[in-house]
Structure 1
């Protein structure tokens, strides 16, 4: 049986935390994106861009609320 990877709110939060971004456990995807954008330096911004590219390009199923938050908040803010 084949299982597809699902990137849900919790997985997205863990990915942000792996980049050193503090996100409270009860943060929704929009709040997590807002936390991610606070005080980014160029190195962190590049790492966040790479993570977003990996998440959206991985072929994994991304929970609609996570995808919407990424597309509405992170992509415009991280555009070169």
Structure 2
């Protein structure tokens, strides 16, 4: 049996919280990104860049809503 890592909005939120970002439970991927961007500081920005690179470049499968939220909300905020 093959087991693939799947990142849904709850997994994504958990990873953001692990970085020290205040993201409430039960929010959508878009909302999680909005909370993440609102809570950025220089240290968290670096950590969030690393997380985004890991998620987009890793072997885990991102649900389309999570991938779209990262691309629309986080990437523009991280290139500033």
For residues 44 and 22 of structure 1, the distance between their equivalents in structure 2, rounded to whole angstroms, comes to 11
If the length of structure 1 is used for normalisation, what is the TM-score?
Answer: 0.95
Match of 2:35 in 1: 35
Over 2 Å off, 4+ runs: none
CA deviation map 1:35-80 (0-9, x unaligned): 0011411111000000010011112110000000000010111015
Question: Any stretches of 5+ residues in structure 2 without a counterpart?
Answer: none
Question: Any stretches of 5+ residues in structure 1 without a counterpart?
Answer: none
Q: Report how many residues are paired.
A: 80
* Alignment of structure 1 residues 1-80 onto 2, 5 Å: 1-79=1-79
If the length of structure 2 is used for normalisation, what is the TM-score?
Answer: 0.95
